[in-house]
Structure 1
Amino acid sequence: MSNDAVIIYTDGACSGNPGPGGWGALLTHKERSKELCGGEKETTNNRMELMAAIQALNSLKKSSIVELHTDSTYVKDGITKWMTNWKRNGWKTAAKKPVKNKDLWLMLDEAIGHHDIAWKWVKGHAGNPGNEKADQLANAGMETFKK
């Protein structure tokens, strides 16, 4: 990965599944960093994991080289293994069922088109500082909806 890469850590959180949820992202580039978070009143953890990646990528002001770290195998495998076939099959799974969260997958597909992205899986809650910060941000985003 280039020294000029934007390093992104993303995470989603949900209290109940479905329930109030939040997403968080930590972006770093050279000496600068940016923290993003948000949430929804009624959502799922997978939707928040996707939203974290979408919001992080959409926050970039220009086409970038990106190293995106996620602790969600759903997001990583969806984007690197499954999406090509979903698109070819009219957004149906191998079992011919509609793809869940299609609206967000379409948004993510649009967001990735502007960047050169290396997708990295990181074990959650294992002490990785970037992942831990993204988790804190996701929980902060969720807290605003837990009333």
Structure 2
Amino acid sequence: MATNAYYQPDDREWVQNRKFEPSSRYRDSIDLDLIQVTNDDEDWTYVACENALPCNDCDCIAPHVDSIFIAVNGACRGNGHANAKAAVGVFFGRRSTYNQSVLLDQSHVTNQIAELKAGILALEQAKEIADSDYLVKGMTEWVFKWETNGYKTAKRKLVENAKLFQELRALVGDLNTSNAEVLFWRVPREMNKEADELANQAFDG
């Protein structure tokens, strides 16, 4: 999974559902790997410009230098068992000092909790600098309904992991106040290798 946060020019309308959708921004035939522009000399993975064409020499697309991707992953070993352990990985760029590999120390962990914690850690990092369907759907579809009904299910029970979603929502709000838009993109697993590796590194200490 990846989050995308970038500065909002005064004349730009923000995306209401917070989804980063390549199909609506780029031509249909674009290679998704080209959307993420990396540079070994930079801390960041940039968002490719929607209107630029790949370079004939390197096949790269010119990036928006004010738009970055943050890849996140949550992993849980022994999911569903009392002795389960979870870790998170956050990837900004190949040489970024903001990359994180963290073993969670709480007693009760699940895959979903790890995914949400990864998103929270990423946005906390993003706040300093101004491959989960659960995180993306939660923050782009479900959370809008939850905010109107007090984070309750149809059976009037508290939504599972409601506090974590509320924490994510607050961080998104903080970044919006700083003129940074936050979008969520559910990427294919093969495109999230770096964040996955960072999450699993935490298990091995």
Instruction: Identify the TM-score tier after normalising by the shorter chain.
Output: 0.7 to 0.9
Runs of 4+ in 1 over 6 A off after TM superposition: none
Q: Secondary structure at the match of 2:150?
A: coil
Shift of 1:96: 2.6
Q: How many residues align?
A: 131
Distance change in 2, residues 1:95/1:143 (3 Å): farther
Q: Find the aligned partners of 2:163 and 2:203 in 1 and give their Cα distance.
A: 21
**Equivalence for 1:119:** 184
**RMSD of aligned Cα (Å):** 1.9
Q: Find the aligned partners of 2:152 and 2:133 in 1 and give their Cα distance.
A: 19
Q: Secondary structure at the match of 1:59?
A: helix
Shift of 1:7: 1.2
**Equivalence for 1:140:** 201
The structure with higher relative contact order (CA 8 Å, sep 6+) is 1
**Equivalence for 1:46:** 112
1:23 maps to 2:88: yes
Q: Find the aligned partners of 2:124 and 2:144 in 1 and give their Cα distance.
A: 21
Shift of 1:32: 6.0
Structure 2 counterpart of 1:45, which letter?
N
Matches within 5 A, 1:1-147: 2-18=64-80, 19-28=84-93, 33=96, 34-41=98-105, 42=107, 43-60=109-126, 61-63=128-130, 71-113=131-173, 114=175, 115-124=180-189, 126=190, 128=191, 131-144=192-205
Q: Secondary structure at the match of 1:5?
A: strand
Unaligned runs of 5+ in 2: 1-46, 48-63
Structure 1 counterpart of 2:104, which letter?
E
Shift of 1:95: 3.8
Q: Secondary structure at the match of 1:93?
A: coil
Structure 2 counterpart of 1:48, which letter?
A
Q: Find the aligned partners of 1:116 and 1:80 in 2 and give their Cα distance.
A: 13
Q: Secondary structure at the match of 1:96?
A: coil
**Equivalence for 1:68:** none
TM-score, normalised on structure 2?
A: 0.59
Unaligned runs of 5+ in 1: 64-70
Q: Find the aligned partners of 2:86 and 2:70 in 1 and give their Cα distance.
A: 20
Greater share of strand: 1
Q: Find the aligned partners of 1:120 and 1:3 in 2 and give their Cα distance.
A: 19
Identity of aligned residues (%): 33
Query: Which structure has the bigger radius of gyration?
Result: 2
TM-score, normalised on structure 1?
A: 0.80
Please tell me whether the aligned partners of residues 57 and 111 of structure 1 are also in contact (alpha carbons under 8 angstroms).
yes
Per-residue deviation, residues 99-146 of structure 1 (Å, max 9, x unmatched): 11112111101111113012111122x2x2xx10100111122344xx
Q: Find the aligned partners of 1:54 and 1:142 in 2 and give their Cα distance.
A: 19
